[in-house]
Structure 1
Amino acid sequence: MTVIEDLIARNADFAADHFTRGLRLMPALKTIVIGCVDPRVDPNEVLRVRTGEVATIRNVGGRVTPELLMELGMLRRVTQAAGGDIGPGWEFIVLHHTDCGITKLTDRPELLSLYFGVEEKSLSVEAVSKPRAAVAQDVAILRDDARFTGVRVSGLVYDVSSGSVELVVAP
């Protein structure tokens, strides 16, 4: 059986026994979790989120990049078109983790500066190699974005060796 055949078979089981009808477009907890694509750190699994409770965005390092800010802006437009809005009463949770692959690129400032949309001289190596510093930096960027005034923003770090999260920046 190929990977795609296996996944389609798993979906058949999901559709038959686990699918929840009637979920709304808006996450029930009015929360967006921003996390890393690392397969060890699925935010919905790590935080035991049920289907429909949160929206999850994943990228390399779980970082707040210019592209992520554009995506959040687009999501805001989607919520407005659906009769809601990302604003007061909503939460953003930034979830970084230990042993992140992005830390392997600290010797590639030209690549990282492009990803973060900053000049190389402005790139903080600490905010790439240290997850707590990275979370604090990303939370600050979100809190400073005028499009999301009133959104509560917090930051967590997940330890891949223990399975535990640590609150690094309180909402």
Structure 2
Amino acid sequence: MNNLDSLLKRNKDFAAQQTAAGTLMPSLPQATPNIKATIIGCVDMRVDPAHIFGIQPGEALVIRNVGGRITPGLLEELGLLGRIGQVMGKIAGGGGEFHLVVLHHTDCGITRLEGDPAMLAHFFQIQEGELKAKAVTDPRVAVAVDVALLRTIPTLPGRWLVSGLVYDVATGLVEIVVPPAPIRTA
């Protein structure tokens, strides 16, 4: 059995359990998921927000990229998700508190790219001279930088909460680096 065969078998087991329990999500147009958060995190397989936070289907949107960083591409994705919500008549956080969570982690692979400024500058779509401000090697500073960047985006609803967390891959614990607060104060 190869890796794909193993994954497909696990999927069949998952689907059978979900169908038996009646917990499969309904199709999108009829769905009324209980989405209360969007978590922006790293693609590192050790840092899966569903496992770290015990997230069930329909509870949160999870967007993952290298380092869990706020990049122009990620901002474009947020814009597309917002537009999808408008078209479907479902605006995130429309029925109560909504939270953007920026989740970085210790021992992140992006820190090992410090010696490749051209690659990092391309990823962030900035000039190499601006890289120091991205704090690539320090997850606590980097998460604060990314939360600050989200606060500057005028299209994000000011009433949404935003916070910055760092997951410690050695202990399994999450540290609050930037406490939850509205994106903008009135």
Runs of 4+ in 1 over 6 A off after TM superposition: none
SS at match of 1:123: helix
Alignment of 1:40-119 (within 5 A): 40-86=46-92, 89-119=97-127
Q: Who is 1:10 aligned against?
A: 10
Q: Which range is displaced more, 68-77 or 24-33?
A: 24-33
- Distance in 1 between residues matched to 2:93 and 2:130, nearest whole Å: 30
Residue 149 of structure 2, aligned match among 141, 145, 148:
141
Identity of aligned residues (%): 49
Aligned to 2:177: 168
How high is the TM-score relative to the length of structure 1? 0.93
Tell which has more relative contact order, 1 or 2 (C-alpha 8 A, sep 6+).
1
Q: Any stretches of 5+ residues in structure 1 without a counterpart?
A: none
1:111-156 CA-to-partner distances (Å, cap 9, x unmatched) read 1111111111111266100000110011111111011032211010
1:32 to partner: Cα distance:
0.5
Q: 1:126 to 1:57 in 2, by over 3 A?
A: closer
Q: Do the aligned residues in 1 keep the contact of 2:35 with 2:61 (CA within 8 Å)?
A: no
Given that residues 36 and 60 in structure 1 are in contact (C-alpha distance below 8 angstroms), is that contact kept between their aligned partners in structure 2? yes
TM-score of the aligned structures, taking structure 2 as reference length: 0.86
Please, which of 166, 174, 186 is the counterpart of residue 157 of structure 1?
166
Answer yes or no: is 1:132 the counterpart of 2:140. Answer: yes
Query: For the aligned residues, what is the CA RMSD?
Result: 1.7
Q: Is the 8 A contact 1:143 1:149 kept in 2?
A: no
Please tell me the residue identity of whatever aligns with 1:136.
A
- 1:31 and 1:91 in contact (8 A); partners too: yes
Q: 1:116 to 1:52 in 2, by over 3 A?
A: same
- Residues 1:26 and 1:120: Cα distance change in structure 2 (over 3 Å): farther
Contact 1:27 1:55 in 2 (8 A): no
Q: Deviations over 1:82-122 (max 9, x none)?
A: 11224663211000000000000011111111111111111
Q: Which piece of structure 1 moves more, 110-119 or 159-168?
A: 110-119
TM-superposed deviation, 1:30: 2.4
Deviates further, 109-118 or 94-103: 109-118
Once residues 57 and 135 of structure 1 are traced to their aligned partners in structure 2, the CA distance between those partners, rounded to angstroms, is: 15
Q: 2:24 aligned with 1:21, yes or no? A: yes
Q: For 1:156, what is the secondary structure of its paired residue?
A: strand
Provide the aligned length of Structure 1 versus Structure 2.
Answer: 171
Tell me the distance in 2 between the aligned counterparts of 1:39 and 1:87: 28
